[in-house]
């Protein structure tokens, strides 16, 4: 079994974080996320949770250990299959994650 070197690992880890962030928290995927968990688009925090809301699925999507693990496994399997392509396609995601984390930790 192949294991990525430290540089590839860092790129793949940052890419997995960025994909998790996109899926669980970023505004761009808010509508698909709400459809998946059956939360109406017009629902606001503080209102009564509607019938049919998939609370366990919502917890899974927002959990970095839960969804993040599955994303990491997929990225690792893709890396085992096509290491150069997977690493190359992960670089923009890793850079994006680094930018976001830099902004977060800079305190601005």
Is there a domain that residue 2 lies in? Answer: no
Is there a domain that residue 67 lies in? Answer: yes
Domain containing residue 38? 7-106
Nearest CA to 14 out of 95, 94, 99 is that of 94
Nearest CA to 19 out of 94, 100, 104 is that of 94
Structurally, the chain folds into a number of domains equal to 1
pLDDT confidence of 34, banded at 50, 70, 90?
Answer: confident
In the chain, which ranges are continuous DSSP H helix?
A: 6-24, 30-37, 55-62, 66-81, 83-106
Contact 20, 64 (CB under 8 A): yes
Is there a domain that residue 65 lies in? Answer: yes
Is there a domain that residue 39 lies in? Answer: yes
Is there a domain that residue 53 lies in? Answer: yes
Is there a domain that residue 59 lies in? Answer: yes
- The answer, yes or no, to whether residue 3 has pLDDT greater than 80, is yes
The pLDDT tens digits of the residues spanning 57-80 come to: 999 999 999 999 999 999 999 999
Bigger pLDDT: 1 vs 91: 91
């Amino acid at each position: 079994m192949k294991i990525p070197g430290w540089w590839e690992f860092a790129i793949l880890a940052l890419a997995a974080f960025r994909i998790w962030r996109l899926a669980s928290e970023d505004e761009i995927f808010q509508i698909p996320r709400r459809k998946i968990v059956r939360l109406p688009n017009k629902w606001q925090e503080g209102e009564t949770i509607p019938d049919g809301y998939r609370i366990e699925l919502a917890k899974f999507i927002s959990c970095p250990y839960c969804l993040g693990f599955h994303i990491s496994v997929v990225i690792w399997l893709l890396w085992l299959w096509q290491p150069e392509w997977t690493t190359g396609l992960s670089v923009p995601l890793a850079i994006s994650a680094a930018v976001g984390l830099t902004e977060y930790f800079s305190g601005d």
